[in-house]
Amino acid sequence: MWRLRECPLNDEQLGISIGLSGNAIRNRRAKPDLWKLSDVERLASLFALPSTASIQLSQVLDDMPSRMKTLPADERRRIERMLLLKTSQLESYNKNDWPVRYLLRMHRSLLTISR
């Protein structure tokens, strides 16, 4: 995201480069938690940055709902409470793209548990 501050492109040009409207770019600059995982991947590609972590995260997220469904109900509910997301929400975000705010929220909740 720090590359955005150094980017010589205006919002309209940047939007065209990554497939968003200029207005969407302005909104995301003002509220960074509106970025989506696919936006971050396209930005990494635009700025020639490695996207390995993003790709690995996407793979794990895609696999999570099916793994969760194989768990006993009480274990699945415990994990859903830990992640602050239900299995159905995981499936929905996998289909429609992950808002960064939910990834950050999930990350924070897992950090507090591991301490």
Closest CA to 82 of 91, 94, 90, 70: 90
What is the tally of structural domains in the chain? 2
pLDDT digit string, tens, across residues 29-78: 899 889 999 998 999 889 888 888 888 999 999 999 999 999 999 999 99
Range 11-25 burial, b when 16+ CB lie within 10 A, else e:
beebbebbebeeebb
Do 21 and 66 have their domain in common? no
Q: How far, in Å, CA of 19 to CA of 115, rounded?
A: 40
- Which of 17, 33, 49 is the last residue in one of the domains? 49
Q: pTM higher than 0.85 for the full model?
A: no
Do 39 and 79 have their domain in common? no
Q: How far, in Å, CA of 71 to CA of 98, rounded?
A: 23
Do 64 and 109 have their domain in common? yes
Do 94 and 62 have their domain in common? yes
pLDDT digit string, tens, across residues 80-115: 998 889 999 999 999 999 999 999 888 888 887 766
Domain residues for 41?
2-49
